[in-house]
Amino acid sequence: MSELKNDRYIRALLKQPVDRTPVWMMRQAGRYLPEYRQLRSQAGDFMSLCKNPELASEVTLQPLRRFPLDAAILFSDILTIPDAMGLGLYFETGEGPKFERPIKSQSDIDRIGTLDPECELKYVMDAVRRIRSDLDGLVPLIGFSGSPWTLATYMVEGGSSKAFTKIKKMMYAEPAMLHSLLEKLATSVVDYLNAQIKAGAQSVMIFDTWGGVLTPRDYQLFSLRYMHKIVDGLIREYQGHRIPVTLFTKNGGMWLEKIAATGCDAVGLDWTININDARARVGDKVALQGNMDPSILYATPERIQEEVSQILADYGQGTGHVFNLGHGIHLDVAPENAGVFVNSVHELSRAYHC
Ligand code: 1CP
């Protein structure tokens, strides 16, 4: 396997010195890029892109051709696991993901078997292998999964949700039932991420998009606990290389110390916390990823630069910061503005590194 030509992203996660602050964007491949929309319409739909390693690799590389990003992220989705578990994932245009057979009872959970990622999810591993080969060491490849809690919200609600009434009902009326589902998901996520690492993912990230809708106590019991189990089960070093793991709970700033205590290498931050406070709270324990509000990409180039400059100053001198948006890039953002963002990070961050 090729050595990395640009390893800034891995080095920053491991708190090793870097020349500039590395940057990538959550959801950097996708609908805001006209070349993505064109390829998707050629392929037919989103899942056809995910299931075709050649196209998945092409889509992964599209943003890297436009912007000097320091990492690539596997083009796939967090909902591949529930789909492989037999829930029947489908997308209705303009409506987001849906499941034909959502989880309603204990017997639905009991029916879920153990996943063999190189079998039911072989298309994901094939995409990882293909992307690694196409990247040819340009930048590291990030593998990912949803957190058990976040996956469970989609599986129980039957799709996206705003109020999370079905899963919260299960959580408070049938907590043992929900725990049995989360337990199965945690096992599958460990196997899935370890398979991605063996296939070539050089770092992994766990998206806990909906952990922030829980009370502090329930966040620990129903979300963090299972992410902790996953961190404990992951391959941390592969073929002589350390594989950094990043945990991202949207709206999880208040639980930063607890997230950092799981043994992860980095914590992803959304924009509701100042990165200066975050750094003071975690000290040397973990690196930080984030945290510009993605909506700032609607602003003028000057305003985008100003915000980047402010966040760099807030983080301060030295390594341990991976610049990112605090959540996914919006689909109607002008690609040029993403370019302004990426270039600003590189140019303005030189002053913060020796
Ligand atoms: O073309 C299309 O219309 C499909 C849109 C789309 C895309 C481009 C979906 C459906 N998923 C993806 C790709 C994707 N999803 C990636 C790889 C691309 C990249 O980052 O460059 C990743 C990492 C994800 C992760 C993901 N999917 C998350 C966690 C991150 C986050 O944004 O919070 C979540 C919650 C999902 C579920 C999902 N899949 C797709 C959509 C539109 C959603 C969100 C639904 C919702 O808001 O509830």
77 Cα–ligand 1 center, Å: 6
State yes or no: is 11 an active-site residue.
no
Mean pLDDT of the chain: 97
pLDDT at 34: 98
Cis preceding linkage at 291, omega within 30: yes
Mutate to test the pocket of ligand 1, among 67, 78, 161 (most ligand atoms within 8 A of CB): 78
How many domains would you assign to the chain? 1
pLDDT for residue 105 is more than 50 = yes
pLDDT at 22: 98
Residue 272: which residues within 8 A CB-CB, separation 6 or more? 251, 253, 326
Q: pLDDT by residue (tens digit) across 149-197? A: 999 999 999 999 999 999 999 999 999 999 999 999 999 999 999 999 9
Is 116 inside a domain boundary? yes
pLDDT for residue 12 is more than 90 = yes
Distance CA 26, CA 292 (A): 11
State yes or no: is 9 an active-site residue.
no
266 Cα–ligand 1 center, Å: 21
Give 1's pLDDT tier (boundaries 50, 70, 90): very low
Is 22 inside a domain boundary? no
Contact 292, 308 (CB under 8 A): yes
Please tell me whether 29 is known to bind a ligand.
yes
Retrieve residue 325's tokens: 């948006």
In this prediction, residues 139-146 reach a mean pLDDT of 98
Q: pLDDT by residue (tens digit) across 306-327? A: 999 999 999 999 999 999 999 9
Q: pLDDT by residue (tens digit) across 50-94? A: 999 999 999 999 999 999 999 999 999 999 999 999 999 999 877
Handedness of CA 275, 280, 282, 285 (dihedral sign): positive
Please tell me whether 30 is known to bind a ligand.
yes
pLDDT for residue 259 is more than 90 = yes
pLDDT at 14: 98
Percent of the chain scoring above 70 in pLDDT: 99
The single residue of 27, 66, 242, 281 carrying the catalytic annotation is: 27
Is 322 inside a domain boundary? no
In this prediction, residues 248-253 reach a mean pLDDT of 98
pLDDT at 2: 53
Q: Which atom, in ligand 1's list, is nearest to the CA of 60? A: 21
Is 349 inside a domain boundary? no
CA neighbor of 153 nearest in space, from 87, 211, 193: 211
Distance CA 128, CA 112 (A): 25
Is 249 inside a domain boundary? yes
Please tell me whether 77 is known to bind a ligand.
yes
Is 4 inside a domain boundary? no
Q: Which CATH number does the domain housing residue 107 bear?
A: 3.20.20.210
The single residue of 9, 32, 154, 192 carrying the catalytic annotation is: 154
In this prediction, residues 273-284 reach a mean pLDDT of 97
Residue 246 sits in which domain range? 43-290
Please tell me whether 279 is known to bind a ligand.
no
283 Cα–ligand 1 center, Å: 31
350 Cα–ligand 1 center, Å: 32
Give 95's pLDDT tier (boundaries 50, 70, 90): confident
32 lines ligand 1 (CB under 6 A): no
Is 50 inside a domain boundary? yes
In this prediction, residues 118-146 reach a mean pLDDT of 98
Tell me which long-range contacts 49-53 makes (C-beta under 8 A, separation of at least 24).
49/75, 50/75, 50/76, 50/77, 50/80, 50/123, 50/124, 50/127, 51/123, 52/123, 53/123, 53/126, 53/127, 53/129, 53/130
The single residue of 8, 36, 70, 77 carrying the catalytic annotation is: 77
State yes or no: is 77 an active-site residue.
yes
Is 125 inside a domain boundary? yes
